[in-house]
Structure 1
Amino acid sequence: MSSDDFRIAFHIGAHKTATSHLQRSLLRASDALVEQGVRYYGPDHFRLPGRTLSALFGLRERRAKRPPQDQLALMRKGADRIVFSEENFIGTLAHTISQDIEFGYPNANIKIARLSRALGKPIDLFLSVRNPTAMINSVYSQLLRGNKIIDFEDFKAMVPMTRGDWADLVTRLRETPGVGRLVVWAYEDYSALFDDICLAMLGTQITPVAHHVNPRLSAQAVAQILAQNDAGMQGELAKDAANAFPVENGFARFDGFSDREHDFADMAYRAQVDAISEMPGVTLLSPAAD
């Protein structure tokens, strides 16, 4: 294979769509993947000081240690395919109260275009989408686990569901210069599609790790966290509450939405996925019909 004949695959998320599960599966398989000509880099690499994608490839004002294409060659190490996975690159969802929540990833296409220009090659994108009410519930649990405690109604106001239009995001990404393949799947189909996702992204299949890497908090756990926080208590409130009321022991998962809100979200989400399935140049993975 020539020095320029290789592919770049980028799993961009989205958040709370089993990204941690996929990343841990890829990390565990990384040595075996090297033998098959695939180099994988995920959060364990990109979340170290000075190793974010923006820092490594000079996407910020501060100059990178080396030219972007030299950095890419260093990370590639002659592989046929280099695979990135870092959902925080396109935006973050678990900010503190004083910061914006980038629900809908309004700048994702701009960031991808900059990265592709820096690398001098098209990037194949891999994106998972999820029902917005389930996603927001899950992000809220993650926020609490990170000791960023806020009432759910206040958090929900920061992430209106109308901003989370997956069809709009996919359209923007598909129109972005420097994007090669664009592969999408629904989080709800993730388990059934794991082999297909890996084959599309890696060119091979791997064995998945155990599921539920970051499970949602239970309703009882959330209630305890909020009550203890209101009482001025400090410490590992989320950890203690999660241990006291684990979902695995039958405690109901937290859900801050009404039936009416769920119905609206379900309808909008189905319409968005249907629209994505019809988009030229987009591959929507779906389970095989029985």
Structure 2
Amino acid sequence: MKGRFPISRPVGAARTLIRGRPRMEIVLHLGAHRTGTTTFQHYMRDNVDALARRGIGFWGPLRTRAIVIPGLFPGPRIALGRDLVRRAEGRVRMQLALAHRAGTRQLLVSDENIIGTPQHCLRHAALYPAIGDRLARVGTAFDGQVTRVVLTLRSQELFWSSLAAFVVGRGHNVAGSEALEKITHSRRTWRDVIMDISCALPEAEILVTPFERAAGQPDKLLATALGSAAPAVKTSRWLNRSPNLPALRKALALRGRNPDELPDGTGRWLPFDTRQSSQLAEHYADDLHWLAAGADGLAQLTEDPTRKRAGSSLPAGDMTKGQRHDKGHPPGHLAHSG
């Protein structure tokens, strides 16, 4: 893992004050992708005014992709004579200062693309291979104020299946047998992702929630993230659902590709065979066992003891697009972000 790490930060009571004033607590909700992030972000926007009255601020993808991500994770640069990373850090800190002066006590930042993209995961056949470097940059930009990280995990065979369907719906190629086999044999699991988070943000508390036990409950996720009561869910929604096989076949045909690249059927696309699915599920079971055993002190597995085991489907609700389609669109659109 490469990148710039904070060298030293105040700890304990010292880190709760800035020049005699209470320091703003920053909570990062990092996803992962395909674990209800868009539904959670819409829930936060539904309740942003009520939360603001409690001193709780929210930065979602509409904001982070304008003020946090640009420049902080630069690709090939054009010689502009400017340090894009330093400019990004200054932009983030300026916005943090404005939020603090406005009375924000807790700031929740939610954007799954902070830790990487679906395309990058699939390209490398690995779970967020650059997360350590990316979060080290985030920690520096947020000036060491990140106090808590919230991560939602999903069983690997369903995570990768949903990711593969998502990128095909966005115009990318169908994952072939070689790519699927490479994913199956990847030695990188959620445990490695969590260890990278801990290395990059060593002072932050890491809370981990299995998607299977938290699906359709954004209020419970917010309560976990903030450590306090959260507004009740007003509208049951299932946003950014993976496109099913008919939708994916249609998307391929519209792009001039052969729909027969995908199997027949009407339900969810499950590209892995029985052997591959079993192997991926076994990795997830090992991850959960490690978390339940204490995760070597790096993270805490959070569970709702009143929650019954989730079924194979999420709760019924609107199935709409992501951040750019908050209003004015009827249900039934394919997902395009989150």
- TM interval, shorter chain, is 0.7 to 0.9
- The alignment's C-alpha RMSD in Å is 3.1
* Alignment CA distance shift 1:67-1:268 (3 Å): closer
* Alignment CA distance shift 1:121-1:198 (3 Å): same
Cα deviation 1:121-142 (Å, max 9, x = unaligned): 3411110111111111111221
Three-state SS of the structure 1 residue aligned to 2:45 is helix
Does residue 221 of structure 1 match 2:238?
Answer: no
Aligned length: 270
How far does residue 16 in structure 1 lie from its aligned partner after superposition?
A: 0.7
TM-score (norm 2): 0.69
Cα deviation 1:24-62 (Å, max 9, x = unaligned): 1111111111001100000121224xx23454xx67531
User: What does 1:208-287 correspond to in 2, within 5 Å?
Assistant: 208=233, 209-226=235-252, 229=255, 251-277=266-292, 278-279=294-295, 280-287=297-304
Whether the 8 Å CA contact 1:129–1:187 is kept in 2: the answer is yes
Whether the 8 Å CA contact 1:125–1:179 is kept in 2: the answer is no
Specify which of 206, 229, 245 is matched with residue 204 of structure 1.
Answer: 229
Match of 1:238 in 2: none
Match of 2:79 in 1: none
Whether the 8 Å CA contact 1:93–1:103 is kept in 2: the answer is no
Does residue 167 of structure 1 match 2:195?
Answer: no
Counterpart code for 1:253: R
Report the identity percentage.
19
Whether the 8 Å CA contact 1:173–1:179 is kept in 2: the answer is no
* Alignment CA distance shift 1:54-1:223 (3 Å): closer
Counterpart code for 1:211: R
Does residue 117 of structure 1 match 2:133?
Answer: no
Q: 1-side partners of 2:252 and 2:182: how far apart?
A: 18
Match of 1:39 in 2: 57
Counterpart code for 1:117: T
Whether the 8 Å CA contact 2:214–2:220 is kept in 1: the answer is no
Whether the 8 Å CA contact 1:12–1:126 is kept in 2: the answer is yes
Whether the 8 Å CA contact 2:58–2:109 is kept in 1: the answer is yes
Q: 2-side partners of 1:24 and 1:158: how far apart?
A: 35
Counterpart code for 2:237: H
* Alignment CA distance shift 1:15-1:163 (3 Å): farther
The answer for unaligned runs of 5 or more in structure 1 is: 234-244
Counterpart code for 1:116: G
How far does residue 70 in structure 1 lie from its aligned partner after superposition?
A: 3.1
Match of 2:68 in 1: 52
The answer for unaligned runs of 5 or more in structure 2 is: 1-16, 75-82, 309-338
Q: 1-side partners of 2:39 and 2:251: how far apart?
A: 26
Q: 2-side partners of 1:36 and 1:59: how far apart?
A: 32
